[in-house]
Amino acid sequence: MTASPEQHPPGLDLEESVLRPVRGHHAFEACVEQLGTAIRLGVYPLGSALPAERELASRLHVSRATLREAMAALREAGLVETTRGRGGGTVVTLKPRSPSARAAARVSSAKRQDWLDALEFRRVVEPGAAALAAQLELTDVRREQLEQAHDAVAHASRPAPHRQADSRFHLTIAALSESPRLIEAVTSVQSALHEMLLAIPVLETNIAHSDRQHAAVVRAILAGRPDRARRAMEHHCDDTAALLRGLLG
Amino acid sequence: MTASPEQHPPGLDLEESVLRPVRGHHAFEACVEQLGTAIRLGVYPLGSALPAERELASRLHVSRATLREAMAALREAGLVETTRGRGGGTVVTLKPRSPSARAAARVSSAKRQDWLDALEFRRVVEPGAAALAAQLELTDVRREQLEQAHDAVAHASRPAPHRQADSRFHLTIAALSESPRLIEAVTSVQSALHEMLLAIPVLETNIAHSDRQHAAVVRAILAGRPDRARRAMEHHCDDTAALLRGLLG
DNA sequence: GAGTATTGGTCTGAGTTCATACCAATTTTA
DNA sequence: TAAAATTGGTATGAACTCAGACCAATACTC
């Protein structure tokens, strides 16, 4: 800790820890980020339609004018296309990208720091979500959805769709927990993870390993074994994190 | 969908889970909430001075004009007093309140739901923070601060100061984890907890029990035993949650 | 006591965001 | 084919937020 520009003090400053920016950026930037994230994570896959503007705006607690600015940005960036009239709407046109190896060097120190924090946080919240999901009585429909999300990951052979399926899988588990706070936490963590994986080439062997761990998590959740689900997810997070930390420095 | 106004569907709607309001309210309301929370949780105890306006504004990523609106609201509400000139500033005048038993009935169903979610979330993030803290090499200053925060809880005899000391204790552990995301999560959870405890009378026996659990958490963290720290904090959260759930319905 | 530094208090003009209408295109329905 | 419904597109004025400059009060320094 000698060369690093910012050195933390030996003591804690509670207020410094607690007082955080009251909100990140402008409303329309936040919309772009949230919708862009949802699209890239595969919540809205290629070819699917976004909700109508009026509904999206009310969902995001934002005026339609602001939402439209965001939509314009997404359209500009080539993520979506829009047609009007009844039956029209906005449709996803973004094809999932593959990781580009040379992007890894460009990340700033702050971003790197944030990524490492996301990995720590993930190791806490995702196992928590898995445990909670395993603890609940799941309807048949939901058990089905979980297995389906898992199958989608296992059967996706190409890297980019696999990445999206993986995100959807983890988000599905979070949604099963039924905890709004946990869902938001996992969404934010998956978004960070997605960024990281775009900057890092993924190895085939790791995908196979990862899928075995996914299967273990699904089994534990369906069997209603919270502790086992949590531990399985912890292993999965640990292994992913070790890999990423290694490739990030 | 017959009796309950909002019943969740048997299946999951991923987009519904993931798309959340892009930001809660206006900037100045958010400032009021954040500063009010910090004061009530005892980050700024009675008689202590808040940072200068210019610094606070930059810390919260908000213009000074907006921050001042928030300050005016806090002043109006009697939480702080302001004097000007060099050496002046804004000082906390709020005496920690004691719980009022009859407040419990007034909480809305949505709030109740949010509180229950906060308890679930807490059971995930606070044990996680404790484990992380135990896993790090702590400087002597920090070990000292942790013990001091714990002593403050143990020695606070009256309910209101005890509540603040308790919040500070939990926030201290979160801060020790050095994870910004975890710190924010614990802050938000403690804020919800604080609201709940204001609406519910606290029993002396529970305070004693709680302090024994605090001690166990501190021992585990200082001994560098992450698993033990996590489990101790889990027990603490479980017991608190059971009590609160019982009193809330 | 004079000067300086630090603090809250005030003002202004520009940029965002908002709610609310209304217009235009297209499909569904009668 | 005509009407209705649904969708995106546009316009307007109010409210909020911002950055920056400047004023006023107070305490420290010389």
Give Cβ neighbours of residue B150 (< 8 Å, ≥ 6 apart).
B169, B214, B215, B218
Q: How far is A158 from chain B (nearest CA, A)?
A: 23
User: What is the predicted pLDDT for the residue at A227?
Assistant: 94
Which part of chain A is CATH 1.10.10.10? 27-92
User: What is the predicted pLDDT for the residue at A181?
Assistant: 92
CA neighbor of B96 nearest in space, from B72, B79, B74: B79
Of A37, A124, A147, A187, which to mutate for an interface test with B (greatest number of B Cβ within 10 Å)? Answer: A124
User: What is the predicted pLDDT for the residue at B36?
Assistant: 86
**Chain A environment of B41 (Cβ under 8 Å):** 18
Which part of chain B is CATH 1.20.120.530? 101-248
State which protein residues have CB closer than 7 Å to strand D. Answer: A 50, 52-54, 64-65, 68, 71, 82-90; B 26-29, 61-66, 69, 83-88
Nucleotides of strand C under 7 angstroms from a protein beta carbon = 5-12, 16-21, 24-28
Give Cβ neighbours of residue B191 (< 8 Å, ≥ 6 apart).
B37, B40, B41
- In this prediction, what percent of chain B has a pLDDT beyond 90? 39
pLDDT (mean) for B154-177 = 88
Q: Which helix (H) or strand (E) holds B173?
A: helix B159-177
- Nearest by CB to A22, which of B31, B121, B129? B31
Residue nearest to nucleotide D25 (CA to C1'): B85
The structural architecture, per CATH, of the domain B27-92 is Orthogonal Bundle (1.10)
Under CATH, to which class is A101-248 assigned? mainly alpha
pLDDT (mean) for B146-157 = 90
- Compare all CA atoms of chain B with the CA of A12 and give the residue at the minimum distance: B142
Which residues of chain A, if any, have pLDDT below 50? Answer: 1-8
User: What is the predicted pLDDT for the residue at B43?
Assistant: 80
Residue B173: pLDDT above 90?
A: yes
User: What is the predicted pLDDT for the residue at B131?
Assistant: 96
User: What is the predicted pLDDT for the residue at B208?
Assistant: 80
Q: How far is A145 from chain B (nearest CA, A)?
A: 8
**Chain A environment of B38 (Cβ under 8 Å):** 15, 18-19
A12 with B142: Cβ contact below 8 A: yes
- Compare all CA atoms of chain A with the CA of B17 and give the residue at the minimum distance: A175
CA neighbor of B41 nearest in space, from B151, B153, B190, B189: B190
Confidence of residue B158 (pLDDT cuts 50, 70, 90): confident
Nucleotides of strand D under 7 angstroms from a protein beta carbon = 4-12, 16-21, 24-28
Q: Which residues pair with B89 in a beta bridge?
A: B83
Confidence of residue B217 (pLDDT cuts 50, 70, 90): very high
A23 with B23: Cβ contact below 8 A: yes
User: What is the predicted pLDDT for the residue at A15?
Assistant: 64
Residue nearest to nucleotide D10 (CA to C1'): A65
Å separating the CA of residue A43 from the C1' of nucleotide D7:
22
Residue nearest to nucleotide C11 (CA to C1'): B65
Q: For residue range B76-94, what is the model confidence (pLDDT) as tens digits?
A: 888 999 998 888 889 989 8
User: What is the predicted pLDDT for the residue at A92?
Assistant: 87
> Residue A99, Cβ neighbours under 10 Å: how many?
16
User: What is the predicted pLDDT for the residue at B249?
Assistant: 66
Residue B177: pLDDT above 70?
A: yes
More confident residue, B46 or B19: B46
- Nearest by CB to A12, which of B59, B175, B179? B175
- A10-14, long-range: CB < 8 A, 24+ apart: A10/B139, A10/B140, A10/B141, A10/B142, A11/B139, A11/B141, A11/B142, A11/B145, A12/B142, A12/B145, A12/B172, A12/B175, A12/B176, A14/B43, A14/B168, A14/B171, A14/B172, A14/B175
Q: Where are the alpha helices (DSSP H) in chain A?
A: 14-18, 27-40, 53-59, 64-76, 109-135, 140-155, 159-177, 180-198, 204-222, 226-248
